[in-house]
Amino acid sequence: MKKLFFISILIFIGYQSYSQGCVAIRSTGGMCASDHHLDTSKWQLNINNRYFKSYKHFIGTVEQTQRQTLGTEVINHDYTMDIAIQHKLSARWSWMLDVPIIANSRSSLYEHNNVGRYLTHSFGIGDIRFAVYSWLVNPEKMPKGNIQVGLGVKLPTGNYNVQDFFHVTADSLRAGPVDQSIQLGDGGTGITFELNTFYNLSRQLSFYGNFYYLSNPQDVNGISTARGATPSSSSIQNTSNVMSVPDQMMIRAGLNYMVNDFTFSAGVRDECLPVNDLIGSSNGFRRPGYIVSFEPGITYTKGKINFYAYVPVAVTRNRTQSVPDQITTKLTGKYTQGDAAFADYTVNIGMNIKL
């Protein structure tokens, strides 16, 4: 019973699923509500590895299949290792520090004047996050279910002006900021809010639910989207000449079923990069949208170590109309909506260690 109780509340908000592609939500941290309640361990370490390949373009919910047929699709390879440490202060209170290490690459034609398909890269530490958590009820009085509230700050530690070389011609290069989707950070200081819950339906079956929201009050970070060239007059008019600092949101819910040392999970995951921020303006270039995924997973417990693997598989992908799209629509009288590339699935593999 106790082991089921512990495993049932493992939540993997930390595997930063970048809404799978150019609709990018950034690192949300390691293990947030972990198996801390009735355990005597004061410290936990969570190491999560996340990888995806985005290449399928969508405008709204309509896939732009011609991009792959013509060979003009943009291909992102995104890898992140989230290293998160959590310390238990009391039965109800704990804090968490997450440090993401990111390695991204982007292959495209249009960014290189269509003279050939070339790569740009980014590597380094992303935006570090610190959060404090509290169970609403003392876990000793609520062993069957509980709700945890988290409040944190996301720091602009990731380089949001990573630069690489872009081809002007086959033989000449120009340095400039890489695409927003592979930048290491967004350049803003944000506030995070979380709700994490679980309920044990039986000795083997349990329910989990997670809500995460990052509010980025800053409007834009001032980084050019022109890849080292002069921004166009139209991009200046609709504000897409600089990168936005967007909010992020994620919701998860599902069931866990325990068999001996294994816990099998099945749930739904919804990630969203909103069109409009909760606080402040929403100008600048962003690729808003959401992705709904079916999320199977498995956890194996061996002593003080939990090994896990989760693979969210995309069910619905939607690239929504951004603020610059709306401005262009108003200025030209012609409906405008950009596209974004998404992945089919994300691979999340990691471990949680009680220290």
**Whose CA is closest to 263, among 211, 313, 198, 315?**
198
Structure token pair of residue 77: 């390879």
The mean per-residue pLDDT over the stretch 34-44 comes to: 66
Where does the pLDDT of residue 41 fall: very low under 50, low under 70, confident under 90, or very high at 90 and above?
Answer: confident
Rounded to whole angstroms, the Cα distance separating 295 from 297 reads 7
The mean per-residue pLDDT over the stretch 251-275 comes to: 97
Rounded to whole angstroms, the Cα distance separating 213 from 232 reads 33
The mean per-residue pLDDT over the stretch 228-247 comes to: 97
If you average pLDDT over every residue of the chain, what do you get? 91
Residue ranges of E strands in 136-225: 145-154, 163-167, 173-177, 190-200, 205-215, 220-224
Domain span at residue 100?
Answer: 2-354
List pLDDT tens digits, range 137-189. Answer: 998 888 899 999 999 999 999 999 999 999 999 999 999 999 999 999 999 99
pLDDT of residue 143: 87
pTM of the model: 0.91
pLDDT of residue 17: 41
| Counted domains in the chain | 1
The mean per-residue pLDDT over the stretch 43-48 comes to: 96
Where does the pLDDT of residue 12 fall: very low under 50, low under 70, confident under 90, or very high at 90 and above?
Answer: very low
**Whose CA is closest to 308, among 320, 295, 319?**
295
What Å distances lie between residue 186 and 64, 149, 189, 244, CA to CA?
Answer: 27, 25, 9, 8
CATH number, position 197: 2.40.160.40
Where does the pLDDT of residue 5 fall: very low under 50, low under 70, confident under 90, or very high at 90 and above?
Answer: very low
